[in-house]
Amino acid sequence: MLNASTASALVVQDISWQDPIANGSATLASYSGAGAQQALRLLHDALPVCKKYSGVNYTGKYRAELTARKSPEFGDEAVSFHITYPEPELGGFLDTHYVVVRTGGVVAAFTDSRAGKKAKFPTGHVTEQVNRLRVAQRS
């Protein structure tokens, strides 16, 4: 879902605002029909059961932990979670906060990554962007 592989259109914007090592991003994925609802439902249903997973990145194998947070009240529906994995070169761990929001047929995923501390995507930015998405879909 986070790669938006079933989306009709996709735009990803990297954000580098505070920490030069860790960044954030905003992803907009447009779906046809009920695709946006289905994509967010898959993510919502996976969060309670996916607590840890393994992967490989540029430093080699890793084991990540996923921590679901209280679902925020943005758009038509939303979820929030953190993915944390060990990163010895960057303060011991890298934490990424995800806020994923559906507004109509669009899913927006916002991330903030922090090295050595908990990340938190600013909710004011999410509110502003979700309002813009809502207005744009009405035109």
Q: Please report the pLDDT score of residue 51 as a whole number.
A: 92
Tell me the average pLDDT across 36-51: 93
pLDDT, position 101: 95
- 68-111 pLDDT, tens digit each: 998 889 899 999 999 998 887 777 898 999 999 999 999 999 99
Question: How many CA atoms lie within 13 Å of 15's alpha carbon, on the beta-carbon side?
Answer: 16
For residues 117 and 21, the answer to whether their CB atoms sit within 8 Å is no
Q: What is the pLDDT of residue 17?
A: 63
pLDDT of residue 86: 87
Q: What is the pLDDT of residues 11-29, one digit of tens each?
A: 988 887 665 555 888 899 9
> In the predicted model, what is the mean pLDDT of residues 26-38?
93
Q: What is the mean pLDDT of the chain?
A: 87
Percent of the chain exceeding pLDDT 70 equals 94
